[in-house]
Structure 1
Amino acid sequence: MGGVSSTARPALPLLHADCENCFALCCVALPFAKSADFAVDKSAGTPCSNLRQDFRCGIHAGLRDRGFSGCTVFDCFGAGQQISQVTFGGRDWRTHPGTARAMFEAFPVMRQLHELLFYVDQALAHPAARPVHAQLRRALAETEELTRADAATLAAADVPALRAQINTLLLRTSELVRAKVPGRKKNHRGADLMGARLAGADLRGANLRGAYLIAADLTRADLRTADLIGADFRDADLSGADLTGSIFCTQAQLNAARGSAATRIPPGLTRPAHWTA
């Protein structure tokens, strides 16, 4: 990733969804299958039956009750408005139907790029990761530059290669940050912890990358400085848990879980509306 100054830090696009400036791309471009998360099947490129003409969801306030909980946990990391307002300059797929195919193909690519930007930006916020900050800044600049490319360039981008390159840096970041936690850290990377009874567990500095924590009891668990990248928290109970300082926690993970007013969450994320008081 040569040619970018090691001190460069681009002004990042907004890395959370701004639905007011998006043409409902998650409701059209992406497919979903009838399941516990979605009440119906929908193919890619087909507008959801709940989508209104103004690009808003007709059942937004009742998505969970109507069988569309999957919609409530999805996070495009800001890719929707980037595609709508930057890549396609505000031309929507209804008024300009000729843009539809390219727009829908570019959206999943942009979503992956914005997710990578989110993780790299989080990694740069950790002083312990200073040994890889220069490489992280170069990765950030290269990825941000790609987000400003046209639709054809986006469609041809080798995102898996970029993801693999960045993941190496994220892994190193995780190691450096978790090394600051004294004692032996638990390694549950990719572990099947579905329904696990982890109430009050000391998981400080644990490796939970890609762990299946579906419906796990994590009430009052200490997740400070735990690596949570890719962990599946669907229906996990985080009531009273402490996630402050956790590494790579996302809004989507919180949205998928259950929690309470006593749950401590990382800065920059918001307490989901469905959590108990």
Structure 2
Amino acid sequence: MSAQLFVVATPIGHLDDMTLRSIEILKSVAVIAAEDTRQSAQLLKYYNIATPLTACHDHNESNKINILLERLKNGEDIALISDAGTPLISDPGFKLVRAAQEQGIRVIPIPGACAAIAALSTVGLPSDRFSFEGFLASRSSQRINQLQKLKHETRSMIFYEAPHRILESVRDMAEVFGQDRPVGFAREITKTFETIKKMTLADLVAFIEQDHHQQKGEIVVVVGGATEQQDPGQEQLDQLLLRLLQDLSVKAAAQLAADLTGIKKKVAYQRALELTGKD
């Protein structure tokens, strides 16, 4: 089987960030599987690429796999692209790549732009060890639960966030990680209104509150890792909450635990919900 599936990175903003090899591949394959054919058509037009497009996104990827695999088996090379950046990084494509691998089809990466790595390389936080966390949950309670599990992560953490949720997400980060935790904020990377800042989480909350333009566009948040390995008070907090919950409601137990320990009431409340199995 000689056909190949190319995973091709495309620009995250500035169209000139397309690599020469990416252009060559997109011109040579039989078809390009794209997350959004309308958006990708603009990129192809810019580089005079006449290769046909076919949609491959979250809603149709499972159904499209067999069609694309059949074309690969018939000897047709296929390129996979997302709306911007490297496919599969919080974008569709994993199911197709996995299926191709299982069928013995060669999958070839064509490297290029990636918002997560671009942000990490410029915000001035440790980059020798990092974790990519993608998008957090949209509901605050679920988001706080995710952040609690990451509170003692010592590596730099990379998050993507939607503009309409960025302020609430950063507020939750400040509450869970601490107001003074260092953070990098990268918005609209390579675009006209590119913003790259490094500050504390408290300062970032204020920055976004004071400038509503920071709640627009594509956003990457890089949070510095924790300095401690574990929370010595977590076991004590759980013991306290479990005892309080024997006599009090979740709300009352969380309030009293917060008063006694100095932790945020919201954090105590979320942990109380977890302990009671109500979250």
> Which TM bucket (shorter chain)?
under 0.3
Higher strand share: 2
Higher helix share: 2
Greater Rg by CA: 2
Q: Provide the TM-score with structure 2 as the length reference.
A: 0.25
Q: Provide the TM-score with structure 1 as the length reference.
A: 0.25
> Structure with the greater relative contact order (CA < 8 A, sep ≥ 6): 1 or 2?
2
